[in-house]
Amino acid sequence: MVWPTVPRTFLALDPNEHSLERSRVVLLPVPYDATTSYRPGARAGPGAIIEASRQMEDYDTELGCDPSAVGIYTAPEIEPHAGGPKAMAARVHQAVAWYAGQDKLVGMLGGEHSLSAGAVRAVVERTEDVSVLVFDAQADLREAYQGTRSSHASAVRRIADHAPVTLVGVRSMTVGEAALARTRSIPLFARGPEPITDVEAIVEGLSANVYVSFDLDAFDPSFMAAVGTPEPGGLGWWEALAILRAVGEQRRIVGFDVVELAPAEGPEACAYTAAKLVYKVIAYATRDST
Ligand SMILES: [Mn+2]
C-alpha cells in the first residue's frame, strides 16, 4: 500500500516490520474473565490496551531510547475456553510455551489474574532459577474461592505452585492469607501510608531470572479505577516503575503479564496507562539489547 495506514497492533507498529520472526517480544492478548467476583469486564482489557497503545509515541523519555526497536509482535487473541479458569490457564500455558520456545519474551495481556499461572508455568518449564514478582492490591493467596482453585482470588497461590513469589503493593488480605505468607516466608511489601522506596530489598530477594505479573489494581485507583477490585492507597506510577527499572537492571526479566484492566469500570485514560506500563516493562526488560 502506498497510502498511510494505522495497523491494529500494539503501538500501531507495522505488522510486516514487527512480524513474529523479526520480533524479540510477543504480546499475547487473552480476553478472558469468568471468576471475577466484584466488577467483571477484564475480558475487554487486552483489546482496550492495544487500542489505546496506538495513540502512544515510541520514544522513551526516561531511558532515551526507542524500546520498540527490538520488535514487538502483536499475537492473535487466544479464544476463551468455556470449560473454566483451569482450562483457560492451560490454554495460556500452551500458547506461552510455544512462543517462548522460539526464544521470544512473552508478555500476556489479560484478562483476569488467574491466567498468569499458566504463563508462569510455561516460563518456569524452560528457564531455571525463576522467581515471580507480583504487583497486586490483594494477596490472592487463597487455596480456593467460590468453588475453584483457579479463581482470580487464588491467582498468586497458583503462581506459587510453580515458582517462589514476592508480593508488592498489597493492602488487602484475609487473616488466613497473612498467616500463610508468614509460614511460607513469602516476601510481602505491603503498601501503607508511605511509598515503597526500599527497591533494593525487593530486588535482593529475587532469583537471577524474574517473571513480572502486574495486576493493575496494585496502582492507586485515583488514576487506575478501571479494575475489578479497586482498593484505596495503591502504588504511584513512578513508584512502581522504579521497582521495575531496578529489576530490569539487576535481573533478567524472562516473561511478564499485565492483567485485570476492566475498561468499562473507569476513565478511558486507564487503558492508555496500562498500555504505557506494558511499553515500560518491555523497555526495562530489553534494555541491553536496544
Ligand atoms: Mn490479583
Q: Is the pLDDT of residue 283 over 50?
A: yes
Q: How far is the CA of 137 from the centre of ligand 1 (A)?
A: 7
Which pLDDT value is given to residue 44?
96
Interval between CA 149 and ligand 1 midpoint (Å):
14
CA 109 – ligand 1 centroid, Å: 14
The pTM of the full predicted model, rounded to 2 decimals, is 0.97
For the chain, domains (ranges, CATH) are 10-289 (3.40.800.10)
| Model confidence pLDDT, tens digit, residues 232-267 | 999 999 999 999 999 999 999 999 999 999 999 999
All cell numbers assigned to 120? 508462569
From residue 112, alpha-carbon distances to 166, 181, 185, 231, 233 in Å are 19, 22, 26, 16, 21
Opening angle at CA 150, ends 149 and 154, nearest 5 = 75
Residue with cell 483476569: 112
Compute the distance from residue 127 Cα to the ligand 1 centre, in Å.
24
Residue with cell 492473535: 76
pLDDT tier, 289 (very low <50, low <70, confident <90, very high otherwise)? low
Which residue matches cell numbers 502512544? 56
> Rounded to the nearest whole angstrom, what is the distance from the C-alpha of residue 228 to the centroid of ligand 1?
9
What is the distance in A from the centroid of ligand 1 to the CA of 19? Answer: 31
Centre of ligand 1 to C-alpha 181, Å, is 15
Compute, in angstroms, the gap from residue 232 CA to the centroid of ligand 1.
Answer: 15
What string of DSSP letters covers 20-80?
A: TTT-SEEEEEE---SS--SS--GGGHHHHHHHHHTT--S-BTTTTB-GGGG-EEEPPPPPP
